[in-house]
Structure 1
Amino acid sequence: MRKYTIYLVTICTAVVLLFQFSEVRTNSIQPPAGRTGAPGELTCGDGAACHNTTPNTGSGSVMLSFNGDNNEYVPGDTYQVTVTVLDPDASKFGFECTSIDNNGDSAGIWSGEVQGNIAFPTAGAVDDRKYVSHFMADANNTWIVNWIAPATDIGAVTFYASGNAANGNSSATGDEIYTTSLTINMATGIEIIESGNPFMVESITHDYLNVQYYSAGLNSVAFQLYDLNGKHLKSFDGNSQSPGTHSTTLDVSSIPQGLYFLQYVSGNIGITKKIIID
């Protein structure tokens, strides 16, 4: 009986060590979602059991930058967000980032990398937020990611990022976690509803677009929906309206999530804008 007990303890110990090593290696591939330090979130250093450290106590930092003028966004436009992790004592680096509005809800869409390998973690996401992270952590410490701004003016958007500066010893010790944030606002002086700029999208859900538009009262108003290749997907025909500003709701419940063109048509006027259905 003693012989079997020794074997059992040895096997169990090996399994525990293998699991711990596997967990560390898995997070070096990509982190779980919900680890940016945003409101309601942890990081990989405080209570998440990935790295045994207190965030922002090392000698390094993580930096966020946004390439929009004056840190402002135009609804539906694509920008580049850069995350850089600095630490002179680290040999491997990783990160995770999310973008949320003032209510803590996800804002904008992460659309692909410009520099550095990235992933889009989902397991562990807080409040259905969207995340971007490193993929296969290595000596690279800078990632540039395309981000599509919300299709409408939702006010301020804040990016939260956490950076991991690791020593590469395949354990939870000796690493550092850093956090930072950056707030941007919608560009001022755009989307004025008038004859020269006749419509804007007020809000979007997966099922409906709430659109505000201008009518000169001379022709009926219609909207056309196209995909990015110019394929016509749906028509929204309207009636003649009295001169002035009006609102309508367009049913897009049959349209998959993604980026589209919405065209306003009235007489010989056709104005097209990008929208995001998410």
Structure 2
Amino acid sequence: MIRLVFILFLGVFSTLVLLGNKNGRATQAQRGNTGAPGDETQNGQPKTCQACHNQGPIQATLAITVLDSTNNTVTKYIPGKNYKARVTINATGPGLTGYGFQMIALRDSDNTDLDGFSDVNPNNYKIASLPNGRTYAEHNNISSTNTFDVTWTAPPSGTGSVTFYASGNGVNGTGGTGGDGAGVNSLKLTEFSSAANDLPTAFSNWTASPNPATDQLQLSGTELGVGAHHFRAFDASGKVVWESAQMIQNESFITNIPVSDWNSGIYFVQIEQGGKRSYVKVLKL
């Protein structure tokens, strides 16, 4: 009799635990399902929300963007800086009542979890850690809004490129997976090495004048390699403010960059050719 009571108690307790952990795959099932390398697999491939929540009339897609403190989208991160990793789930279909997601950020060189997410209340997400050491951001119960803004701190200098992996769904709120829709996506950020203070103000074969500049900046290069060159200008947050592709036919080259619309501050002009990069540091007044 005592054994029967214990078994019944254990069953009720387990049910309550499962119900309490319904809000998040990592929390409830101790699984990562973002599509990232090292996540739970199915038939040898990373398993995502689409494996279950993709059987009904709700159609869903997912987008990842990373924003700086002024809500500008960035393609490069500055080591140690705080960003907003935004997951947006666009879903349509009958019975749509809410949204859920899961996301992780890995270092590309070895797929190491960077553990850069933090839970800054109030919000509609939480941080969940697995026994294998991986940390995920995921929904905190069904969200009525389709956007999740997760605070992310960029890793230390020298980490290299980072990829965000996310999977999300639009659900009908029935408690099961039938009738839902899901989407999956990833986003790569490269390290903005020119944000470090160890870059010279100019390289020997590239100069910028006038520097400081107010309206227009003239970029001049000498002893150059002939071929396609890609020019980009970044502000201190890593946001691209100007870019251009040019075919250089001679060993010297001059191009003008309009800067009148730039805010005052430090900028870095990147010149890329044949996989090699040079930088020129400029000041906009």
TM-score w.r.t. the length of structure 2 is 0.52
Find the residue that maps to 1:189 and give its secondary structure: helix
Identical positions, percent: 24
CA distance change for structure 1 residues 181 and 51 in 2, over 3 Å: closer, same or farther? closer
1:38: Cα distance to partner? 0.7
1:111 and 1:147 in contact (8 A); partners too: yes
- Structure 1 residue 166: Cα displacement: 1.0
Q: Residue 41 of structure 1 aligns to which amino acid in structure 2? A: D
Match of 1:109 in 2: 116
- Alignment CA distance shift 1:71-1:194 (3 Å): closer
Q: Secondary structure, in 3 states, of the residue corresponding to 2:92? A: coil
2:54–2:180 Cα contact (<8 Å) kept: no
CA distance in 1, matches of 2:114, 2:41: 20
SS in 1 for 2:157: coil
Q: 2:25 aligns with which of 21, 26, 31?
A: 31
Q: What number of residue pairs does the alignment pair up?
A: 180
CA distance in 2, matches of 1:56, 1:183: 30
CA distance in structure 2 between the aligned counterparts of 1:156 and 1:122, rounded to whole angstroms: 23
Q: Which amino acid aligns with 1:100?
A: L
8 Å Cα contact 2:100-2:139 kept in structure 1: yes
Alpha-carbon contact 2:53-2:169 (below 8 Å) kept: no
Query: Is residue 75 from structure 1 mapped to residue 69 from structure 2 by the alignment?
Result: no
Distance 2:198 2:143 in 1: 49
Distance of 1:106 and 1:30 partners within structure 2: 19
Q: Give the C-alpha shift of residue 171 in structure 1.
A: 1.8
What does 1:1-278 correspond to in 2, within 5 Å? 23=18, 25-26=19-20, 28-32=22-26, 33-42=31-40, 52-54=52-54, 59-68=59-68, 70-89=74-93, 90-102=96-108, 103-107=110-114, 109-113=116-120, 116-123=123-130, 125=132, 128-191=133-196, 193=198
CA distance in 2, matches of 1:36, 1:43: 10
Amino acid at match of 1:94: G
Cα separation, 1, equivalents of 2:115 and 2:161:
12
Structure 2: which 5+ residue stretches go unaligned? 1-7, 202-285
The CA RMSD measured in Å over matched residues stands at 3.8
Shift of 1:119: 1.3
Verify the 8 A CA contact 2:48 2:184 in the aligned structure 1.
no
Conservation of the 8 A alpha-carbon contact between 1:51 and 1:175? no
Cα drift, residue 52 of structure 1: 3.2
Q: Deviations over 1:88-115 (max 9, x none)?
A: 2221211111000111101251123477
User: What SS does the aligned partner of 1:144 have?
Assistant: strand
Structure 1: runs of 5+ lacking an equivalent: 1-11, 197-278
The separation in 1 between residues aligned to 2:49 and 2:164, in whole angstroms, is 24
> Residue by residue, what CA displacement relative to the aligned partner does 1:96-145 show, whole Å, maximum 9, x if unpaired?
110001111012511234773221112365xx222111112132221111
The range that moved more, 60-69 or 105-114, is: 105-114
| TM-score normalised over the length of structure 1 | 0.54
Tell me what 2:235 maps to.
none
Q: After TM superposition, give the deviation of residue 182 of structure 1 in Å.
A: 0.5
